[in-house]
Chain A
């Protein structure tokens, strides 16, 4: 099992460009999450999904969109990138969203917006 994978690993964008980050998991998990991690701050939830075809906003959703067309994939889109979106993006998944349910993380995507 590959677990949680993310593509790309690193990307440089110019302000105003768009891109899509792909997350895939092969553990048949229901829940998937997109976080961003910035220096000196905790992981912040951008959007999450409780199952195929459903998405919900997290703590910092502005400037991002997501889609979960297939259970194993969760896409994060930036329509018009801004320098404030320079960050490391982590995707995670969990079987359920319940007590003691561990989240499994992908290796991260490092995004630099110039």
Chain B
């Protein structure tokens, strides 16, 4: 079956760095997405990886290892506004997104 695993909740300190891991098993693979979702709001796109390696976008970076079925989202210089849920989603061979349950990130001052 198809499955996405990510931690339920993580806590970090303002100004610090946090890494949110995601492992996936899908029928075929067409890329890995990360979305951010603030409480009560819609998910918004953060990043997309289809090749192995690290993609950097400002304070946020995303890494993919296709052979290990593994990705992580790295958030640097954490700000209070980064408190949100981070959703990992893998695109399968039918271009359908398989979503993880999300990781709730709590930022403490």
Contact = CB atoms under 8 A, between A and B. Distances in A.
Interface of A: 4, 40-45, 58, 90, 97-108
Interface residues of B, number: 24
Contacts of A42: 4, 87, 89, 98-102
Nearest to B2: A59
B96 to A, nearest CB: 7
A90 B43 CA distance: 9
Contacts of B99: 42-44
A40 B101 contact: yes
A106 B87 CA distance: 16
B31 A105 contact: no
**Chain A CB within 10 Å, residue with most, of B4, B42, B43:** B42
B97 interface: yes
14 contacts: A4-B42, A42-B4, A42-B98, A42-B100, A43-B89, A43-B97, A44-B99, A99-B50, A99-B91, A102-B33, A102-B45, A103-B45, A105-B44, A107-B41
Interface string B88-107: 01010001111111100000
Contact of B42 (A41, A58, A90, A99): A90
Interface in B1-27: 4, 8
B48 interface: yes
Contact of A102 (B8, B40, B48): B48
Contacts of B102: 42
Contact of B87 (A40, A43, A45, A58): A43
A105 B42 contact: yes
Contacts of B30: 99
Nearest to B101: A42
